[in-house]
Structure 1
């Protein structure tokens, strides 16, 4: 508690509220005899904490932890247990005015932790400890009911109806009504079918990939970050180029919405539907996709943040364990074979930097290696090893893995729902149900809480949720369009030749950077604004938008209300103006610039990096010295060229 009041809760309570929060701790200290007065003094209200330095804060925290450690003995542990049991006993008899209270009457959230720690959460064990009899109306649930799932089985229902002579059209209407969808297929079955098509499409892309076509990092928005330009090698919206259009449309339809706890009767837009596929598939797709990306980066030196194959076993071990636990193991020989294939490739070469200087008949040439690796042949060998094992795994385990995924999600949701039902004595509210089942809800039902509750055998709302999309059709360029509406990014000066004496140029550069950064980060809030708009059914206030105050502060910390009005106006302009949306789509990203740089560079000779070609190998490379050797020396009137590098300065002495 003292740490919380001086960290995450700092500034959120006045001195009187803090003193009230200290009373339970002081009671504990007094009862158990903990001597922590000196160590706790800096944390108390009206202390010198605000005037202490960061080092003094750290010393105070360390001192308090050391003081607690001194009291970690059997004697003090017994005192603490007695104090906790005393609290439970006092609570029990405070409620036992006319009869033994039930567990629900006696125990609130504050008392469940000591009950679980001291009695394993067993109410009857606690009553036996007190020598009391349970209330006749007490209901003790020893185990949760086994969940019954109704997520698939439409084909079996059709066959049973046909055997019973029921009209096919009638059974289709019954199934559509049961699943709460527009057709008779189960929401889970529809998504399983699309996941299999996505697997087949990705398998074909990886199997035929060549270095010239570039990395597949970004094809499923694996990073799940919108408007984030920190990783310029991750290819934004790559699925539009490489996946079939009908598959992209189905993914957008099935994973394009998600639930919101702001209003259980509404849905909001999922910014990156393809990441929904990546998330729904789980570690199976994540493992095979990342291994393929790593192999590409291993030989081509770009396209993914990780490139080591010898460490793949250790790095992927948690995913391998999860697959094995689901009875879908990866062949143990796969990663060993892949590492062996990587070792058989040509040696890894690094960029070479060379510098040569001549003066007075002497010449010195230095060659040293840089950190950057150079591309090398052999990607196709690695690719083929991965493809062979991936297809063998899919043939044997893909169907079982997908069944395991949806059943695990729905069973976990049903268990959480039943726990809340038993604990509260009534069904969770829709908001609570959304919180309990959010992963399964978005992965398999597009955020429709009614469909999820039906699938786990619980009663849900009768109607379908309302969905009113406000986000423009291209979510990737929406943030850039908002930046344009806020004034746009200004071109930044190249400071590679900056002189430290030129402070004005540096100040001007910083102003441009601050201008661009403010609009870049404010655009993140624009996405949250649209999500809140969709969730509420009306335009939200700043306090109703996640990060709303921060977004306004980026634009103008002195007047956040005025800045918020500017940001809101920019969002509304982009939503209503197709020309601004097109301008955002036409704005180059960091990935575009990185791709342009790579394509402009010629592939270097073995052992020679592109950087080396930028260094003059001989002083007479200057055309003036070739025409007239005397012109190579600066004249009295000519400006003296800047000396570059330690070696040249040494030779000029």
Structure 2
């Protein structure tokens, strides 16, 4: 490198003297910006006054500080309320909870309400397809049981408010310095829960539609195969699903009643003939159901 040789007439020069604006892309491209790698390539020792960062400082995560407020207050001899006020000012929020703590608490509240909704399901009720915002946006009723934004109708208002407030803004990958509005905060929240929500909500819906109809995306005996992707992700995260669940679903399927057609419309028409009269019954059916109930309350909770 001619630039290095020019600056190193009396010994190795400092990086800040050698790396001009023109040379910086070269070092970044060939040596990943590592000045020591450049010197090793040139077989030159570093300048004795060279300052090279070889490791990043240990990060400190300010999470869970609110739970330690009482201890910190006693240690420094000030009221606990002042500790909470200082933490709120530091975190830039209305309370001493960190943004992570606040979202974790909101996720717990949401999951509790979600579990209660599934536990309360009984034959004849509408399905909970739409309780989780993970579908394409649509308008109007769905004859197969999907209700757009069902969570607005069934979840507690306080839970919906938390989700709307905490997931209403996002940063864009290409514009990381800007915060923009998120039109679907409940969808982003659902993505936070990842494969756990995808699996449990999906299996609960499968069990419901297998009984109530009109159609089920998979038989109960085929749940493990149908939800293979989230199951693999849960195993990788150290949260595997017990095989006992799939065995119980297989046995439950054996105890369901035979398929019964779901009649949507039935009409009776009187018909007169020279030899007498009779009634013609016409019916229109869509899908089928099976007598029985399969719930996952003991598993999901």
Could you tell me whether the CA contact under 8 Å between 2:137 and 2:148 is conserved in 1?
no
Please state how far the C-alpha of 1:387 moved relative to its aligned partner.
1.4
How far does the alpha carbon of each residue in 1:28-55 deviate from its partner, in whole angstroms, 9 at most, with x for none?
Answer: xxxxxxxxxxxxxxxxxxxxxxxxxxxx
Q: Which is strand-richer, 1 or 2?
A: 2
Q: Tell whether 2:81 aligns with 1:176.
A: no
Please state how far the C-alpha of 1:153 moved relative to its aligned partner.
2.3
Q: Tell whether 2:204 aligns with 1:281.
A: no
Q: Which is helix-richer, 1 or 2?
A: 1
CA distance in 2, matches of 1:170, 1:193: 23
Which residue is 1:336 aligned to? 247
Of residues 306, 317, 323 in structure 1, which corresponds to 2:228?
317
Name the count of aligned residue pairs. 267
CA distance in 2, matches of 1:262, 1:228: 31
Which residue is 2:52 aligned to? 139
Map 1:39-58 to 2 at 5 A: none
Q: Tell whether 2:288 aligns with 1:374.
A: yes
Please state how far the C-alpha of 1:195 moved relative to its aligned partner.
1.4
Could you tell me whether the CA contact under 8 Å between 1:295 and 1:307 is conserved in 2?
no
CA distance in 1, matches of 2:166, 2:211: 36
Could you tell me whether the CA contact under 8 Å between 1:217 and 1:293 is conserved in 2?
yes
Could you tell me whether the CA contact under 8 Å between 2:39 and 2:45 is conserved in 1?
yes
Please state how far the C-alpha of 1:176 moved relative to its aligned partner.
0.8
Residues 1:163 and 1:298: Cα distance change in structure 2 (over 3 Å): same
Please state how far the C-alpha of 1:111 moved relative to its aligned partner.
6.4
Q: TM-score, normalised by structure 1?
A: 0.36
Please state how far the C-alpha of 1:349 moved relative to its aligned partner.
6.5
Please state how far the C-alpha of 1:307 moved relative to its aligned partner.
2.8
CA distance in 2, matches of 1:229, 1:104: 63
Map 1:56-67 to 2 at 5 A: none
Moved over 4 A (4+): 100-107, 121-128, 143-146, 227-233, 260-263, 347-352
How far does the alpha carbon of each residue in 1:51-71 deviate from its partner, in whole angstroms, 9 at most, with x for none?
Answer: xxxxxxxxxxxxxxxxxxxxx
How far does the alpha carbon of each residue in 1:524-570 deviate from its partner, in whole angstroms, 9 at most, with x for none?
Answer: xxxxxxxxxxxxxxxxxxxxxxxxxxxxxxxxxxxxxxxxxxxxxxx
CA distance in 2, matches of 1:390, 1:187: 26
Q: Tell whether 2:25 aligns with 1:108.
A: yes
Please state how far the C-alpha of 1:374 moved relative to its aligned partner.
1.5
Please state how far the C-alpha of 1:350 moved relative to its aligned partner.
7.3
Of residues 173, 197, 207 in structure 1, which corresponds to 2:119?
207
Could you tell me whether the CA contact under 8 Å between 1:215 and 1:303 is conserved in 2?
no
Could you tell me whether the CA contact under 8 Å between 1:293 and 1:303 is conserved in 2?
no
Residues 1:247 and 1:207: Cα distance change in structure 2 (over 3 Å): same
Tell me how large the CA RMSD over aligned residues is. Answer: 3.7
Map 1:466-481 to 2 at 5 A: none
Which residue is 1:217 aligned to? 129
Which sections of structure 2, spanning at least 5 residues, go unmatched? 264-285
CA distance in 1, matches of 2:188, 2:26: 35
Please state how far the C-alpha of 1:219 moved relative to its aligned partner.
1.4
Of residues 270, 275, 293 in structure 1, which corresponds to 2:182?
270
Higher relative CO (Cα under 8 Å, sequence separation at least 6) belongs to 1
How far does the alpha carbon of each residue in 1:182-224 deviate from its partner, in whole angstroms, 9 at most, with x for none?
Answer: 222222222222211111111111012124222212113122x
Secondary structure, counterpart of 1:212 in structure 2:
coil
Residues 1:111 and 1:197: Cα distance change in structure 2 (over 3 Å): closer
Q: Tell whether 2:62 aligns with 1:150.
A: yes
Please state how far the C-alpha of 1:140 moved relative to its aligned partner.
5.9
CA distance in 2, matches of 1:230, 1:147: 50
Map 1:33-44 to 2 at 5 A: none
Please state how far the C-alpha of 1:341 moved relative to its aligned partner.
1.6
Secondary structure, counterpart of 1:311 in structure 2:
helix
CA distance in 2, matches of 1:286, 1:134: 56
Secondary structure, counterpart of 1:268 in structure 2:
strand
Residues 1:287 and 1:97: Cα distance change in structure 2 (over 3 Å): same
Please state how far the C-alpha of 1:134 moved relative to its aligned partner.
5.1
CA distance in 2, matches of 1:228, 1:311: 31
CA distance in 2, matches of 1:230, 1:302: 15
Could you tell me whether the CA contact under 8 Å between 2:262 and 2:289 is conserved in 1?
no
Residues 1:167 and 1:138: Cα distance change in structure 2 (over 3 Å): closer
Which residue is 1:589 aligned to? none
Residues 1:341 and 1:227: Cα distance change in structure 2 (over 3 Å): closer
Could you tell me whether the CA contact under 8 Å between 1:294 and 1:308 is conserved in 2?
yes
Of residues 278, 285, 298 in structure 2, which corresponds to 1:388?
298
CA distance in 2, matches of 1:219, 1:123: 54
Residues 1:144 and 1:292: Cα distance change in structure 2 (over 3 Å): farther
Q: TM-score, normalised by structure 2?
A: 0.72
